[in-house]
């Protein structure tokens, strides 16, 4: 995370993010957004959700966005953000980085297109949006402030992941994991995801890819987990994660719960169901070739 954070900071200073935003400019018309929102999405993908929010605050003035439009850019940021760190974590779980990029970028764009069609077809949420988050939330952007904030984040994540790993082991020993697995196994079984990653997936859905991915990395080192299930779990977490914290942030920004929470959940279930159905018949060799990284002594 540390070298990636430094690289991202360099991208901000050199203005590279602006060029990426310009490249996304033409795509915005397909999701019913003004081209300026391309820079907002690029900022979220290269930095994080807060970077996207800051870009949105600075660029949305005078655009007269509707609630539907704010909802669309919100869900696109929710699905595709913090790529340098989260895609690297996905790669360390055994999922190909390029595959995960295509999944998250592609499904964010597809969901944005679908929401735009739905909202316009039913003439829903076409009222002018009210910006709830004010400029006052912007923190000191100096290098010193950034460095201190990054160090604090690293420490929090380290302690949090360690605590989660300890808690997970305790829950396993007292039988709580088994109860959770039994309760959720019908839905996961319906989607085609194995029981071995249920609890970890729940962590990712509620807390985020960083935490869920870290637990998967740890679990794969200590035990054998079906690699297909790891891929399905990472895709599910990639599309629908941090369902409490991130959703509240986007709703505070002006996004509507129909897209931010309900629509994203339904979309995720449909995507995972279809993904599993389409890829289950593939041989291990073919599946691994397109979706997973190579590991030592891998049997095809």
Print the SS3 string covering 133-169: CCHHHCCCCCHHHHHHHHHHHHHHHHHHHHHHHHHHH
C-alpha to C-alpha distance for 130 and 152, rounded to whole angstroms: 33
| 1-48 tens-digit pLDDT | 566 667 767 776 777 777 888 889 899 999 999 998 998 999 899 888
Q: CA quadruple 53, 205, 24, 127: dihedral positive or negative?
A: negative
Q: Is the pLDDT of residue 298 over 50?
A: no
122-143 mean pLDDT:
72
Query: What's the predicted TM-score (pTM) here?
Result: 0.80
What does DSSP assign to residue 138? Answer: P
Average pLDDT, the chain: 83
pLDDT above 90 as % of the chain = 37
| 188-218 tens-digit pLDDT | 778 888 777 777 777 777 767 777 777 777 7
263-292 mean pLDDT:
93
Contact 205, 265 (CB under 8 A): no
Predicted local confidence at residue 256, as pLDDT: 96
Predicted local confidence at residue 18, as pLDDT: 79
Q: Is the pLDDT of residue 148 over 60?
A: yes
114-135 mean pLDDT:
87
Predicted local confidence at residue 125, as pLDDT: 96
| 47-80 tens-digit pLDDT | 888 888 878 887 887 788 999 999 999 999 999 9
Helices and strands counted in the chain (H then E) = 16, 0
Q: Is the pLDDT of residue 287 over 90?
A: yes
Q: Is the pLDDT of residue 137 over 70?
A: no
Q: Is the pLDDT of residue 152 over 70?
A: yes
C-alpha to C-alpha distance for 100 and 4, rounded to whole angstroms: 17
Number of residues assigned to the chain: 300
Pick from 70-84, 198-212, 243-257, 285-299 the range whose average pLDDT is largest: 70-84
138-154 mean pLDDT:
69
Q: Is the pLDDT of residue 261 over 90?
A: yes
Q: Is the pLDDT of residue 242 over 90?
A: no
């Amino acid at each position: 995370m540390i070298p990636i954070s430094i690289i991202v900071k360099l991208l901000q200073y050199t203005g590279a993010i602006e060029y990426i935003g310009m490249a996304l400019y033409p795509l915005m018309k397909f999701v019913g957004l003004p081209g300026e929102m391309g820079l907002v999405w690029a900022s979220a993908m290269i930095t994080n959700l807060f970077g996207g929010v800051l870009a949105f605050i600075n660029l949305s003035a005078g655009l007269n966005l509707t609630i539907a439009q704010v909802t669309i850019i919100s869900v696109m940021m929710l699905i595709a953000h913090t790529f340098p760190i989260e895609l690297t974590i996905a790669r360390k779980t055994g999922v190909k980085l390029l595959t995960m990029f295509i999944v998250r970028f592609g499904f964010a764009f597809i969901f944005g297109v679908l929401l735009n069609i739905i909202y316009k077809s039913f003439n829903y949420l076409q009222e002018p949006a009210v910006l709830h988050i004010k400029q006052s939330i912007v923190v000191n952007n100096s290098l010193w402030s950034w460095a201190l904030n990054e160090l604090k984040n690293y420490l929090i994540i380290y302690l949090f992941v360690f605590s989660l790993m300890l808690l997970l082991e305790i829950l396993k020993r007292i039988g709580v994991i088994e109860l959770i697995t039994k309760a959720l196994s019908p839905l996961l079984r319906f989607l085609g995801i194995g029981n071995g990653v249920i609890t970890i997936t729940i962590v990712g859905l509620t807390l985020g890819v960083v935490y869920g991915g870290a637990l998967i990395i740890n679990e794969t080192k200590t035990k054998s987990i079906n690699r297909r299930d790891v891929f399905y779990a990472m895709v599910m977490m990639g599309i629908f994660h941090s369902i409490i914290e991130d959703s509240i942030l986007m709703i505070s920004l002006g996004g509507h719960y129909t897209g931010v929470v309900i629509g994203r959940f339904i979309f995720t279930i449909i995507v995972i169901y279809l993904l599993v159905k389409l890829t289950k018949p593939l041989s291990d060799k073919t599946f691994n070739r397109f979706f997973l990284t190579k590991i030592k002594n891998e049997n095809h």
